[in-house]
Chains A and B, each alone.
Chain A
Amino acid sequence: MVSPNSKVILERDRLQTILDAIRAQGFRILGPTVRDEAIIYDDISRVEDLPIGWTDEQGAGRYRLCKRSDQAVFGFIGGAHSSKQFLFLPREMIWKVVREGKGFRFVDTQRDSAPLAFFGVRSCDLHAISIQDKVFMPVDPGYRARREKALIVAVQCGLAGKTCFCASMGTGPRATGDFDLALTEILEKQRHYFVVEIGTQRGAEIMEHVSHQAAAASDLEKAEAATRRALSQMGRTMEASDVKDLLYRNYEHPQWDDVARRCLTCANCTLVCPTCFCSSLEDATDLSGDQSERRRQWDSCFNLEHSYLHGGNIRSSPKARYRQWMTHKLATWQDQFGTSGCVGCGRCITWCPVGIDITAEVRAIRESEKRHGND
């Protein structure tokens, strides 16, 4: 019998049983898998769907999938995808309206679908989910319905990438909560197994159906060592404690012109960011003209139209748009939601086609202040 806050051992060759137990409870399982030379998030059912033996090398504007020398199940960082796209859908119908005589009638959308289980969520993304919760839970019934039912199986990072900086943001590498189960992979010459942390009663119920053993102190120490290893590999850092004030002080800093010369305003960073929540609403009418749908789709503050106000756009320059994104992420977000909007996952750095690095941009502003002083 396992209970929340306990830790047990799951052998690698029993990993399938955890997937089976989750599926048996009616969940649709979403996890990392290899497709199109990247690790993405998609439906999985078998352990073989996971990126076994793969890793991904990342840098500013660079992502390469590579073979590992071992058969690690979670020996990678992660691609552009996160659970965001399954909770805050890239496209979603909000309501439908049907013409009726001289008037019309509004119909809400159906909100019942299979509950989702996210398998292999990293600590940075767990924090991203709780950040998006603050945005959507109070006002978005669709998100709320999906989120309330969602089961989360986290994976504790045993390595970190060159664009990772969760340690700076206080969001990792070790997940300390907000999961139903968390796995730490221990890969030794003789033995391949997972330390499983039980986070919730739901997690405990799943483990009831999975054969496991008690964890020894030495197992827990190995799990801690995995976290230390990830910490030591952390590719980037950002001094985050006072970044809000730093950016509030520097709305007119010349660095914004500098980054605007490089930025393509392609919006990649906002699409891969697990916390970015901007969306646009559009109305689509069918050909008969009798029915119309209100659809929501992901939008980006890098799009010119994002700030459209009759007569023009408020943020017409790339400089204003980049500044909006970064100051929102790191500064104004804190005033809006009581938390930073950045979890240090590094995706915006990896997936920027010109390799703009948010940590370097902050550093450039900070260091120029040190050089020139500020008052």
Chain B
Amino acid sequence: MDPPWTQSDPLLTPRPYRVTRNRRELQDTVTLELESGDGAPLSFSAGQFNMLYLFGIGEVPISISGSPHEPDPLVHTIRSVGAVTKAICGLKRGQTLGVRGPFGKGWPLEAAIGQDLVLIAGGIGLAPLRPAVRQVIAQRDRYGKVSLLVGARTPKDLLYLAELKEWRSRFDLQVLITVDSAGADWRSHVGVVTMLISKAEFEAGETVAMICGPEVMMRFCVAELRKRGVVAENTYLSMERNMKCAVGYCGHCQFGPTFVCKDGPVFPLARIEPFFRMRGV
């Protein structure tokens, strides 16, 4: 019998995955658990992304949100911001979508061994950082102090709330959460996520910072980290550009001399710094 799917290059041609679970995270955001059609889990490193394809609708880059050490099921958290993501968010259990990847360079979790970590997430930016948090927790003794700073618009826009509570209850993890505005029942910080940097516990000279969120948020975080003495070589950002082919031939995701799809999405700030503040690059 013919195998149901035969492909040559998994980076160019998608493989079918079945939705085993669709969990609503926020009003416009869901987390999908996916099972590979041929049973082989997709191994990835924290911070990498896949291209998700929906039959007849299109394809979008989405970072992987599961644990690198537990690659099955494949986990993606998707925010509905356009036609394709909206349709993907609406997928039901048992439905199929195409997956190709994983692509790109992820978070420097190996290089950061022995260092303090400060992980900063804004909005949906927690989704690409979640694999890093989970890997760090799984290998907690490899790192010094670890803080996770999370910013969102309002309390009801906080991603992975149950998991955040679990992380916050750990003694070996400093979790600070802030929102832009809140009602009187909110008992944590209100203000931008950059304000949390001064409250994070780390030794600046031995710290690796990993940031994911809107570009403007990352710009201000970088400035704040610098004030605390974290240098550009130890500051990593997950950049976003128009990824289409994901293998570096279509030219859409260029950012200065880099291709975000293959040289990133995670970059040391030192590599992209000249272009990071420029408009229209």
Contact = CB atoms under 8 A, between A and B. Distances in A.
Interface in B8-26: 8-9, 11-16, 18
Interface string B82-96: 100100000000111
A130 to B, nearest CB: 16
A331 B5 CA distance: 43
Interface string B243-264: 0110111111010111100000
Given A108-B13, A251-B281, A103 B254 contact: no
Interface string B220-262: 0000000000000000000011101101111110101111000
Nearest to B245: A281
Given A283-B59, A292-B56, A332 B257 contact: yes
Interface residues of A, number: 51
A218 B249 CA distance: 46
Contacts of B15: 106
B4 interface: yes
A277 B251 contact: yes
Interface in B39-86: 53, 55-59, 81-82, 85
Interface stretch (A157-165, A206-214, A310-318): A310-318
A320 B279 contact: yes
A277 B251 CA distance: 7
Interface in A252-295: 252, 277-281, 283, 285, 289, 292, 294
Interface in A79-111: 94-95, 97, 99-100, 102-106, 108
Contacts of A108: 7-8, 13
A319 interface: yes
B213 interface: no
A193 interface: no
A324 interface: yes
B249 A277 contact: yes
- Interface residues of B, dominant DSSP: loop
Contacts of A36: none
Given A103-B37, A279-B245, A335-B257, A317 B280 contact: yes
A75 B8 CA distance: 45
B217 to A, nearest CB: 14
A323 B280 contact: yes
B251 to A, nearest CB: 3
A328 B59 CA distance: 26
Nearest to B3: A105
B274 interface: yes
Contacts of B244: 279-281
A336 B280 contact: no
Interface stretch (A60-68, A300-308, A347-355, A361-369): A300-308
A217 interface: no
Contacts of B98: 97, 104, 106
Q: Which among A106, A280, A308 has the greatest number of chain B C-beta atoms within 10 A?
A: A106
B257 A316 contact: no
The 8 closest A-B pairs by CB, nearest first: A320-B280, A278-B251, A335-B257, A285-B56, A332-B257, A103-B96, A310-B81, A139-B247
Given A106-B16, A108-B13, A281-B250, 16 more contacts: A99-B55, A102-B94, A108-B7, A139-B247, A141-B12, A251-B278, A277-B249, A283-B58, A292-B56, A306-B242, A309-B242, A314-B281, A315-B280, A320-B280, A324-B254, A336-B258
Interface of A: 94-95, 97, 99-100, 102-106, 108, 135-136, 139-141, 248, 251-252, 277-281, 283, 285, 289, 292, 294, 296, 299, 301, 306-311, 314-317, 319-320, 323-324, 328, 331-332, 335-336
